[in-house]
Structure 1
């Protein structure tokens, strides 16, 4: 990759050769702590481990919403946004892989370490990273519970007693309490492999079942909204959904930290091989689901394509359980850097003794926190479009480019300079515009639920008179919304 950097008009920073390649400036205590912390505890990872972890981090349950995002954008913009997002995120991920060992003798094992070296400041990067990783783990906690409930409802129909969502979230959390005690990325490689395989399977089910059903009668490819304001907000919502669906940058340096590195075979070589495999899988999962689902159902597709498919029931139930397995692995991949930060502060700043007891307490508290938030705010998943714009856009689209420009200082108007500024401008626009559509959708859904709750209360007061006012009003409200949209 070094020749590629040179070809793109990049000048290596002059101070990069000041540290001897094999020099290790860490103290004995620092080495002991690094050998215990989850990110740096093991350097035995293989290139295929990085492929598993990256697929698990990138291909989430959000892939099932891409057909709906296409219905908000339409064919032309939808194809363009999907393709451009895939290319841009691959480019910025390559930059991070390259910068992992850009200083001889030193490895930037964590995103915030790279940001500090580029003088961006510790808290700028740490806050962005924590917002992404913690919010994603909360969403995964809720998603896992909802999918378990969906599976239960599909299998049992009306023969089983209805169980609250909070109990299913607790069931999902109980698995995380156990798995979170695994010490590092290498130890969750098998779980990551299972999650990656499940993502391929349920994505294939989604677009394969769509092909099997064929194009719906009177399929309509016009935009869902008919008013100008509705089309604009839907476009921004679909833009954010697609642009932020491909993102594993928040954990890529931590994944690369688990791979051994020598002068002959630096870690970027096996890591890049794993990234190429991961992005190929992303291509094979995302594009067919987005395009085939939209081709089959047009603007009548639901925000989860499995709901649109509905039958055969056994296949949809199996797909839901596959997503559960995938979400279990995704939770762990995003949790590992957070646990690393927590335990680093506890050991280095607060002087706790490293050991299994600290692992047990700190990790159990983190899982309990995400479970508590998931149970308390089950609508939190609806905010992910808003949070993703504020945090995913910087860490995925333009922070790597800013670091690259700061460190390597490519010639003005060279290919590297132009590519980085294109990503920076595009990423800033995504950060500003993406959350607008997501926030509007959250507000609209909240208003709808608020109205529904009031109507439901009115229904309770009027059922004695034999009049189901809530059902009638809710039907009229829904019909009116459809006409206004």
Structure 2
């Protein structure tokens, strides 16, 4: 399924260079990734805008089911991430053939139509996430403007803030960052974004604790929020499952992240970084979710930061940190999609790979690639346009999480692991893995139904291009 000529070409490249200190065994430039850069990529991908919706999710599930389901998703993600990390190299974990992308791993191990099914789900998920992050960033920019408007008018102005200019502003920022060539060039951005994610998460925790102290009690109930009708409660639970699934989703870029790691420690480094990252994110999720629910009870908002309006300077810092984080997270999710399109386009039209050196006074020179400039700019413009069309933060996150969770986080890693490890069919381990996969499929279907219903309800009362806060 994978192009054998590419492998042969890589081998030839190595023999021509002769310098093993500059090139890896596949002829590509030496990978430099470490536990810390990989952890930064994962944390940037995982602790995203999803952390802001966990309080709302726990409000739908209640004090008992909420934390339990959150920890369940973290354990499933950790478990299946190990499976996926083992699939970076086909066969031997040290010398086996590398898979540069999730799709290549599927092709090397499972083959057949699985590759196309994986590709459709993976890249749709990546694209959907960039839309969700564009919406999330605009909401934070709108929140900053709204708070300052309320304070400057001393509460006399209702301060209705429209989102289109903020969505376009974030899109303009991404037009520049999207010209960074590949995953290997955004490590600094991921580290900055990871630091920002800790910043606004900690601020959210502090504000939640202050709010609980002001209330003098811990809000919330064991069963969670009640809807106007019994069916509303069901939809709320299903949508909460989708939001939590989205909050832990990063498996569809795990192979791409692992391909940045220094050889020959890819598997060991990836597993260690995964343990650090999942433990860190789960701690923040449970704390933010529980404290947010304890502070606001069943009326916990979909975006925790929008619930606070004092102290204004601290909320500004939190929202600004979120915007900076989402700039990096957008790139972590879009770079694999950029690479996929550019690789296939350059094979068909080799002349598109030509780069032109551009000199700008007082700034370092850079290389301009016509394909990268046109394609990535088009990607950002279309993403921004769709975000303006359907700016439903919570429900969009739920749909994205539900669509990708089972196939990319559970099904494919389990099936590849079974084949890679030659696990006997109908053995105890095989049955256990299949039961896990089927249970997660049911959870995914429930989350998808709830999320789609949420989007339909939003569409029934929303006018396009008129988002407001």
The TM-score with structure 1 as length reference comes to: 0.80
Give yes or no for the alignment of 1:391 onto 2:379. no
Match of 1:115 among 98, 106, 118: 106
Distance 1:68 1:124 in 2: 32
**Aligned twin of 2:291:** 292
Distance 2:385 2:30 in 1: 31
User: Once superposed, what is the RMSD of the aligned Cα atoms?
Assistant: 2.8
Match of 1:136 among 129, 140, 157: 129
Distance 2:399 2:407 in 1: 13
Distance 1:414 1:130 in 2: 34
Distance 2:462 2:390 in 1: 14
**Aligned twin of 2:71:** 83
Larger Rg: 1
- CA deviations on 1:381-432 (whole Å, 9 max, x unpaired) are 6333123312333111222112222333313565642442233112211221
Aligned length: 421
Distance 1:380 1:282 in 2: 20
Q: Tell me the SS of whatever aligns to 1:353.
A: helix
User: What's the offset of the Cα at 1:81?
Assistant: 0.7
**Aligned twin of 2:372:** 359
Distance 1:232 1:162 in 2: 32
User: What's the offset of the Cα at 1:120?
Assistant: 4.8
Distance 1:120 1:434 in 2: 28
**Aligned twin of 2:358:** none
Distance 1:151 1:312 in 2: 12
Residues 29 and 164 (structure 1 numbering): CA distance in 2 closer, same or farther, change over 3 Å? farther
User: What's the offset of the Cα at 1:326?
Assistant: 0.7
Q: Tell me the SS of whatever aligns to 2:191.
A: helix
User: What's the offset of the Cα at 1:321?
Assistant: 0.8
Residue segments in structure 1 that go unaligned for 5+ positions in a row: 1-18, 454-485
More displaced stretch, 174-183 vs 410-419: 410-419
User: What's the offset of the Cα at 1:322?
Assistant: 0.9
Distance 1:319 1:306 in 2: 8
More displaced stretch, 324-333 vs 360-369: 360-369
Question: Contact (CA 8 Å) 2:60, 2:240: kept in 1 or not?
Answer: yes
Match of 1:102 among 85, 90, 94: 90
Distance 1:173 1:223 in 2: 37
- CA deviations on 1:132-181 (whole Å, 9 max, x unpaired) are 10011112122222222221222344569977422212221222111111
Give yes or no for the alignment of 1:313 onto 2:316. no
Match of 1:148 among 137, 141, 145: 141
Residues 248 and 27 (structure 1 numbering): CA distance in 2 closer, same or farther, change over 3 Å? closer
**Aligned twin of 1:170:** 168
Match of 1:199 among 197, 200, 219: 197
**Aligned twin of 1:225:** 226
Q: Tell me the SS of whatever aligns to 2:323.
A: helix
Question: Contact (CA 8 Å) 1:109, 1:253: kept in 2 or not?
Answer: yes
**Aligned twin of 2:187:** 189
Q: Tell me the SS of whatever aligns to 2:424.
A: coil
- CA deviations on 1:281-305 (whole Å, 9 max, x unpaired) are 2122111011122223221222222
User: What's the offset of the Cα at 1:244?
Assistant: 2.7
The TM-score with structure 2 as length reference comes to: 0.82
- CA deviations on 1:262-319 (whole Å, 9 max, x unpaired) are 3xxx311122222222112212211101112222322122222223333222222211
**Aligned twin of 1:333:** 332
Distance 1:55 1:292 in 2: 21
**Aligned twin of 1:47:** 35
Distance 2:431 2:203 in 1: 40
Q: Tell me the SS of whatever aligns to 1:224.
A: coil
User: What's the offset of the Cα at 1:42?
Assistant: 5.8
Distance 1:380 1:42 in 2: 39
**Aligned twin of 1:445:** 458
Distance 1:316 1:120 in 2: 51
Residues 87 and 380 (structure 1 numbering): CA distance in 2 closer, same or farther, change over 3 Å? closer
User: What's the offset of the Cα at 1:217?
Assistant: 5.6
Residues 85 and 380 (structure 1 numbering): CA distance in 2 closer, same or farther, change over 3 Å? closer
Residues 269 and 425 (structure 1 numbering): CA distance in 2 closer, same or farther, change over 3 Å? same
